[in-house]
């Protein structure tokens, strides 16, 4: 043993005798390191730091903070806190320094360094000696104005100093002498060293020893850490899972949870004595605490801001367990942050909510030691909240009421220090003080004041009307409500009695020789179109068409389809478009539900044998064709139940379009005539006139690419009514991006209407390139969210249209000229848009809520679904007698009045541009022969592509682990009852459907999903097959692909078939998307393909590049 080591031991033994003589305890080092360390590791720490008293493990809070510092060294400032204590006395600097040194010497937690041994876990090393960090500043002779200026300079200078967590002390004290015999003590500390309560204890202990009290050794934090190691972690994890296991969405009031370099700011306000007293009474009457009442009030604010009724926020718990003697007077990082969950029903009062919060906290309090990080890990969640609510001890441990008057603390406050974007603090007293501390980089000043106003308003409501249900709590007087109303403003007379079909007839009379429709080589002038519409309308009337009757259209894309559609509208009937690509079973279901009077079809389509009692009108039957060629006098339509001038004629249904249904079957949306007329008027002002002007005032050419079974197909037809030339693209053309781009270039198309997915692909193919002095002036977007990259790429050419089927075509719209970022725009003419919470209260502007629509374009409801109609179409509180539609879409209104789309509030999803209710798909999967149970979810795959995943419990539990045959059979069975886009492409087998402790679906326990492969791998046989397999592997992001693997079973769809065909063409393989979709395997769609005379592809698959963005990998089906 070295002499220096012996001297060190002697010195420490002597010091320990002195401590024990004063009533202290045995030095920690004699008990051995608390942390689990090997001797070499302990030796290395002693070699690094010199004299070491002990080595401790870290609490959960400390471990998280050390991790943050390891990730970002600047995080120490984020977790640096400054507290201020004012005392009515002048302290001598040297004497105060000696008192502080005495406290440091006797308090191990003030001498810790945080380090991570090589290959080990972080520990805190208790050094034997650390110099007390005290600075004295004398402002006693300064004026009042100078005091503020100098104090701010002290704070600014202090913020420039950061802590190195491996170099204690991790706190510092600045003693500031003020005029009039007042001293101010600024304590700056890293939150991992000790907490706010300990900061007050530190100052109290310094003042005690300043006045001559004897020091006492403080081993409280060591004993606390020892106690932590005895806790049952599994039991704690299960406790938190019970309360938070099904939380899948964080409660956030900011867009960014990260602060910047700017120091936190604070706004505060004091409640009146009467309100403060009444809140105490409410808590007592409810048998709860003041904190739980505060929690109910703050939860109500979060509910308004987020538009949800189930919210989570954080709170700080003291963490000083009664099981650890002396912990209440120990210095250390006891405090921890835990989540509080508040779920409320509309009839709940503050007392109801407070009682539930109290039950929650009593149940979870023994398990707070798990720490926020441990809690998040236990429940399988990331960030849960970005706001913190704290009810502080007003006096704090630093105030000793038994101390001499000169030691009395005059004021305690926290200058800054906030690890969360928003921290709410309540200081009790006869007048409660409310403060909001916020990070300016995440929350602006106006938002902070709004949160404070809202919290104050909620507390006053509780105090004055404690029995008022939360759904009726008033909004702050300063709140701007999220209501946007685009009334007619004197344009009411423009919504005339005319139907959209009659407007087309008027246009035809004005421009009879102008080309109206182009389909392949067929060109139809307006006069001819009008005559054919009249003839078809008369034929329909002869067969029973009329108001409140439905005419089903089972026609291919053609001029005849457009003629039949407008003919139905000429009769006052409603048309029902039947998508011929759908399975016959689904078409039969739609027809059976709609009960059409007439079915308009062709000989070829009739052969499919649709089941219906409707009168069939086969347009290519010679007798019918002759009837349709007859000339009709327009005056024939001037009488009858739908004659012009008939009251309420525009209230009759114009069309019925089926969408996916949450009950497991599709539902038909019934839309009146008035919405179509209103849309024509709106588009004339908002879209037609500006676009025509941009094109030089000429007649425009519009490509019709959208399926007629979607109301989005009306966007092109409205241009037709306005007198422009519409090119109806056939099925092959509308689905082939390259062919469509060439068609647009060759025919100088001016307007295309597509989903953002398809638009992105067309732009990559040169859609916006200038050709012979012509460039497309307008790209209409709809059906899905617009990516920012596409919005920027389109610029002023793009125009986004938003609207559910339940509101005629679209309800909101905006173009690139109106917004620099993607937006669904503002309400169209005659439309009111509300952003409401679940209790139908408008949320504040800028907050998230569910979009509700009211106005001229509102649908009548769901065909024969009266209960579902009543649920989705509810009374409009702001327009007596009217209804509004609950869209299920989450949006917010920006300061400029435009709306941002943020996602869905329910299980409805968009798959490849189609609206899908997962419940309908889940029911179909569960009905498959080999399935005992099923769950269907939308999942993100690849570069963010969204696809349907089916998790199935096989009926035959003894089946082999290779479920590819099972998945393939399920897919085949689903293909007979569901449209292709609703058939899951990803599958996983389950032993049982996983459930949470609360009996709900445990989404986090669902396994990874795989494509439904085809079984035995068959390798490619030729260079062409090899290239095609490589292309499919690349596009779908899957492993090896054999020539018999089903393209759809691998996860393919029509948009990826587009990418496969595009890559193949670049490799000189003449493959069309339709071949990929119909043939489905490389063996089949590659059977007759050769790339050149040698039968070899021109380039390798790796060299073929087709850049598809996230949204470009969604389905383009509905846009065509």
pTM of the full structure: 0.73
Rounded Cα distance, 153 and 142, in Å: 14
Considering only 138-142, 500-504, 719-723, 995-999, which range has the smallest mean pLDDT? Answer: 995-999
Q: Report the candidate in 254, 199, 240 with the shortest Cα–Cα distance to residue 373.
A: 240
Q: What is the mean pLDDT of residues 355-384?
A: 89
Of the chain, the percentage scoring pLDDT greater than 90 comes to 49
Q: Report the candidate in 371, 389, 217, 254 with the shortest Cα–Cα distance to residue 312.
A: 389
Q: Report the candidate in 598, 538, 525 with the shortest Cα–Cα distance to residue 570.
A: 538
How big, in percent rounded to 5, are the helix, strand and coil portions of the chain?
40, 20, 40
The boundaries of every CATH 3.30.300.30 domain in the chain are 908-1011
pLDDT in tens, 119-155: 678 899 999 999 999 999 999 889 888 998 999 999 9
Q: Output the six-digit token pair for 434.
A: 């409310």
Residue labelled with tokens 């609510």: 389
Rounded Cα distance, 794 and 771, in Å: 17
Rounded Cα distance, 547 and 531, in Å: 21
Q: What is the mean pLDDT of residues 625-629?
A: 94
Residues 6+ apart with CB under 8 A from 852: 833, 834, 835, 836, 840, 884, 885, 886, 887
Is 926 a residue whose pLDDT tops 90? Answer: no
Calculate Rg over the CA atoms of the chain: 36
The boundaries of every CATH 1.10.1200.10 domain in the chain are 1023-1119
Is residue 1116 within 8 A of residue 913, CB to CB? The reply is yes
Rounded Cα distance, 828 and 683, in Å: 9
Residues 6+ apart with CB under 8 A from 1116: 735, 737, 754, 755, 757, 758, 761, 912, 913, 1054, 1055, 1058
**Architecture label for domain 19-227:** 2-Layer Sandwich (3.30)
Q: Report the candidate in 839, 750, 761 with the shortest Cα–Cα distance to residue 793.
A: 761
Q: Which of 57-71, 662-676, 932-946 has the highest mean pLDDT?
A: 662-676
Confidence band for 516, pLDDT divided at 50, 70 and 90:
very high
What was the pLDDT predicted at 249? 81
Q: Report the candidate in 221, 213, 163, 167 with the shortest Cα–Cα distance to residue 188.
A: 163
Q: Output the six-digit token pair for 183.
A: 């001293």
980 alpha carbon, distance to own chain's centre: 27
β-strand partners of 908? 917
Q: Which has the higher per-residue pLDDT, 933 or 312?
A: 312
pLDDT in tens, 768-796: 888 888 899 999 998 888 888 889 999 99
Measured on CA atoms in the order 47, 53, 57, 62, is the torsion positive or negative? negative
Rounded Cα distance, 845 and 476, in Å: 13
Q: Report the candidate in 1006, 1002, 957, 967 with the shortest Cα–Cα distance to residue 987.
A: 967
Question: Taking all residues of the chain, what is their mean pLDDT, rounded to a whole number?
Answer: 84
Q: Which has the higher per-residue pLDDT, 907 or 384?
A: 384
673 alpha carbon, distance to own chain's centre: 35
Rounded Cα distance, 797 and 103, in Å: 71
What was the pLDDT predicted at 1088? 60
Rounded Cα distance, 405 and 968, in Å: 84
Q: Which of 383-387, 499-503, 789-793 has the highest mean pLDDT?
A: 499-503
Q: Looking at the domain that runs over 1023-1119, which CATH code has it been given?
A: 1.10.1200.10
Rounded Cα distance, 848 and 825, in Å: 16
Half-sphere exposure of 517 (CA within 13 A, CB side): 26
DSSP string of 971-1013? HHHHTTTS-GGGS-SEEEE-SS--B-TTSSB-GGG----EE--
**Beta-sheet strand order (sheet of 1010-1011):** 931-941, 945-954, 986-989, 1010-1011
Residue labelled with tokens 């001293």: 183
Q: What is the mean pLDDT of residues 418-446?
A: 88
Rounded Cα distance, 604 and 620, in Å: 9
Q: Report the candidate in 192, 187, 160 with the shortest Cα–Cα distance to residue 70.
A: 192
The boundaries of every CATH 3.30.559.10 domain in the chain are 19-227
Rounded Cα distance, 145 and 175, in Å: 19
Is residue 1120 within 8 A of residue 735, CB to CB? The reply is yes
CATH class as words, domain 908-1011: alpha beta
Q: Which has the higher per-residue pLDDT, 1059 or 627?
A: 627
What was the pLDDT predicted at 546? 96
Is 712 a residue whose pLDDT tops 50? Answer: yes
Confidence band for 24, pLDDT divided at 50, 70 and 90:
very low
Is 653 a residue whose pLDDT tops 90? Answer: yes
Is 414 a residue whose pLDDT tops 70? Answer: no
pLDDT in tens, 190-230: 989 998 889 989 999 999 999 999 888 888 999 999 998 88
Dmax of the chain from CA atoms?
122
Please, where are the H alpha helices in 497-647? 500-510, 526-542, 559-571, 584-594, 603-606, 622-628
Q: By CB neighbour count within 10 A (0-12 exposed, 13-18 middle, 19+ buried), where does 512 fall?
A: middle
Considering only 187-196, 503-512, 558-567, 753-762, which range has the smallest mean pLDDT? Answer: 753-762
What was the pLDDT predicted at 945? 53
Rounded Cα distance, 16 and 36, in Å: 24
β-strand partners of 779? 752, 798
What was the pLDDT predicted at 1080? 73
Rounded Cα distance, 34 and 46, in Å: 15
Collapsing DSSP states into helix, strand and coil, what is residue 903?
A: strand
Q: Output the six-digit token pair for 917.
A: 């209710």
Please, where are the H alpha helices in 391-444? none
What was the pLDDT predicted at 493? 54
Confidence band for 371, pLDDT divided at 50, 70 and 90:
confident
Rounded Cα distance, 761 and 1055, in Å: 9
In angstroms, the Cα distances linking 54 to 33, 193, 219, 448 are: 5, 15, 11, 44
**Architecture label for domain 231-386+421-472:** 2-Layer Sandwich (3.30)
What was the pLDDT predicted at 932? 85
Q: What is the mean pLDDT of residues 79-101?
A: 92
Confidence band for 23, pLDDT divided at 50, 70 and 90:
very low
Confidence band for 25, pLDDT divided at 50, 70 and 90:
very low
Phi, psi of 153 (to 5 degrees): -65, -40
Query: For residues 413-452, b (16+ Cβ closer than 10 Å) or e, as one string?
Result: ebbbbbbbbbbbbbbbeeebbbbbbbbbebbeeebbebbb
215 alpha carbon, distance to own chain's centre: 55
Rounded Cα distance, 549 and 582, in Å: 23
Considering only 207-221, 307-321, 759-773, 816-830, which range has the smallest mean pLDDT? Answer: 759-773
């Amino acid at each position: 043993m070295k002499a220096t080591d012996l001297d060190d031991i002697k010195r420490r033994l002597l010091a320990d005798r002195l401590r024990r003589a004063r009533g202290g305890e045995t030095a920690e080092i004699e008990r051995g390191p608390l942390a689990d360390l090997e001797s070499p590791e302990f030796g290395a720490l002693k070699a690094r730091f010199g004299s070491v008293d002990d080595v401790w493990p870290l609490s959960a809070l400390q471990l998280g903070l050390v991790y943050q510092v390891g990730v970002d060294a600047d995080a120490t400032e984020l977790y640096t806190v400054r507290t201020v204590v004012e005392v009515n006395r002048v302290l001598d600097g040297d004497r105060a320094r000696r008192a502080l040194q005495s406290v440091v010497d006797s308090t191990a937690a003030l001498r810790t360094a945080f380090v991570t041994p090589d290959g080990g876990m972080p520990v805190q090393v208790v050094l034997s000696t650390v110099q007390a960090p005290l600075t004295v500043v004398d402002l006693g002779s300064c004026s009042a104005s100078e005091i503020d200026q100098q104090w701010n300079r002290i704070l600014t200078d202090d913020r420039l100093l950061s802590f190195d967590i491996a170099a204690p002390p991790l706190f510092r004290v600045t003693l500031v002498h003020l005029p009039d015999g007042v001293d101010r003590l600024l304590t700056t500390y890293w939150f991992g060293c000790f907490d706010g309560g300990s900061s007050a204890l530190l100052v109290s202990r310094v003042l005690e020893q300043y006045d001559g009290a004897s020091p006492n050794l403080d081993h409280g934090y060591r004993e606390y850490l020892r106690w932590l190691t005895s806790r049952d972690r599994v039991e704690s994890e299960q406790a938190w899972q019970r309360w938070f296991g099904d939380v899948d969405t964080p409660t956030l009031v900011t867009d960014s949870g990260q602060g910047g370099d700017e120091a936190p700011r604070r706004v505060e306000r004091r409640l009146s004595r009467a309100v403060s007293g009444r809140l105490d009474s409410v808590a007592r009457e409810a048998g709860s605490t003041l904190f739980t009442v505060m929690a109910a009030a703050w939860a109500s604010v979060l509910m308004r801001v987020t538009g949800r009724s189930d919210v989570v926020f954080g709170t700080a718990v003291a963490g000083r367990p009664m099981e650890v003697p002396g912990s209440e007077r120990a210095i250390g990082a006891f405090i921890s942050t835990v989540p509080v969950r508040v779920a409320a029903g509309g009839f709940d009062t503050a007392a109801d909510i407070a009682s539930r919060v109290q039950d929650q906290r009593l149940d979870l309090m023994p398990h707070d030691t798990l720490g926020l990080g441990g809690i998040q890990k236990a429940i399988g969640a990331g960030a849960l909240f970005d706001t913190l609510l704290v009810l502080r001890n007003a006096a704090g441990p630093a105030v000793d009421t038994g101390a001499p008057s000169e030691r009395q603390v005059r004021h305690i406050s926290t200058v800054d220090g906030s690890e969360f974007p928003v921290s709410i603090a309540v200081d009790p007293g006869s007048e409660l003080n409310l403060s909001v501390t916020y990070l300016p980089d995440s929350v602006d000043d106006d938002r902070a004041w709004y949160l404070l106003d809202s919290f104050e308003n909620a507390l006053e409501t509780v105090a004055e009307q404690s029995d008022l249900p939360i759904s009726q709590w008033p909004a702050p007087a300063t709140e701007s409500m999220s209501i946007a109303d685009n009334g007619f403003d004197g344009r009411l007379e423009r919504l005339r009695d005319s139907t959209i079909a009659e407007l087309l007839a008027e246009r035809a009379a004005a421009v009879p020789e102008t080309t109206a429709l182009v389909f392949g080589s067929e060109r139809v002038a307006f006069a001819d179109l009008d005559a054919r519409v009249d003839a078809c309308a008369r034929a329909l009337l002869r067969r029973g068409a009329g108001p409140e009757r439905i005419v089903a259209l089972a026609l291919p894309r053609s001029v005849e389809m457009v003629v039949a559609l407008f003919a139905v509208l000429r009769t006052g009937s409603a048309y029902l478009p039947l998508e011929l690509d759908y399975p016959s079973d689904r078409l039969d279901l739609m027809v059976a539900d709609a009960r059409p009077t007439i079915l308009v079809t062709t000989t070829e389509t009739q052969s499919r044998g649709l089941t219906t009692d409707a009168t069939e009108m086969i347009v290519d039957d010679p007798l019918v064709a002759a009837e349709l060629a007859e000339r009709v006098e327009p005056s024939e339509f001037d009488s009858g139940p739908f004659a012009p001038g008939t009251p309420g004629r525009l209230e009759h249904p114009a069309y019925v379009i089926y969408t996916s249904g949450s009950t497991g079957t599709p539902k038909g949306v019934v839309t009146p005539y008035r919405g179509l007329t209103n849309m024509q008027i709106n588009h004339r002002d908002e879209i037609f006139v500006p676009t025509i002007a941009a094109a030089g005032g000429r007649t425009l050419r519009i490509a019709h690419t959208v399926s007629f079974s979607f109301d989005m197909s009306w966007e092109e037809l409205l241009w037709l009514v306005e007198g422009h030339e519409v090119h109806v693209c056939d099925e092959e053309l509308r689905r082939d991006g390259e062919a469509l781009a060439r068609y647009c270039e060759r025919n100088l198309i001016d307007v295309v209407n597509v989903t953002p997915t398809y638009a992105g692909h067309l732009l990559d193919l040169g859609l916006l390139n200038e050709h012979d002095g012509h460039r497309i002036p307008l790209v209409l977007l709809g059906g899905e969210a617009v990516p920012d990259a596409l919005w920027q790429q389109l610029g002023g050419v793009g125009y986004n249209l938003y609207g559910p089927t339940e509101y005629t075509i679209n309800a909101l719209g905006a173009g690139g000229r109106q917004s620099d970022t993607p937006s669904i725009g503002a309400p169209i003419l005659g439309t009111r848009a509300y952003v409401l919470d679940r209790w139908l209260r408008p949320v504040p502007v800028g907050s998230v809520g569910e979009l509700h629509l009211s106005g001229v374009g509102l649908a009548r409801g769901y065909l024969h679904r009266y209960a579902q109609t009543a649920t989705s179409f509810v009374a409009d509180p702001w327009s007596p007698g009217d209804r509004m539609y609950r869209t299920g879409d989450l949006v917010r209104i920006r300061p400029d009045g435009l709306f941002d789309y943020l996602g869905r509030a329910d299980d409805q999803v968009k798959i490849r541009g189609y609206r899908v209710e997962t419940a309908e798909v889940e029911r179909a999967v569960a009905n498959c022969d080999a399935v005992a149970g099923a769950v269907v979810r939308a999942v993100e795959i690849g570069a963010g592509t969204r696809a349907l995943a089916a998790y199935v419990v096989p009926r035959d539990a003894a089946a082999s682990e290779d479920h590819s045959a099972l998945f393939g059979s399920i897919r085949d069975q689903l293909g007979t009852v569901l449209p292709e886009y609703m058939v899951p492409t990803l599958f996983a087998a389950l032993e049982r459907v996983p459930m949470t402790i609360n009996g709900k679906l445990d989404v986090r326990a669902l396994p990874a999903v795989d494509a439904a492969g085809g079984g035995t791998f068959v390798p490619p046989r030729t260079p062409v097959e090899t290239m095609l397999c490589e292309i499919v592997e690349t596009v779908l992001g899957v492993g090896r692909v054999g020539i018999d693997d089903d393209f759809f079973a691998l996860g393919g769809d029509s948009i990826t078939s587009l990418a496969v065909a595009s890559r193949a063409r670049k490799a000189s393989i003449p493959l069309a998307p339709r071949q990929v979709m119909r043939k489905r395997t490389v063996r089949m769609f590659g059977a007759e393909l050769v790339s050149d005379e040698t039968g070899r592809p021109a380039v390798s698959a790796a060299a073929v590049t087709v850049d598809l963005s996230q949204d470009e990998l969604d389905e383009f089906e509905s846009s065509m």
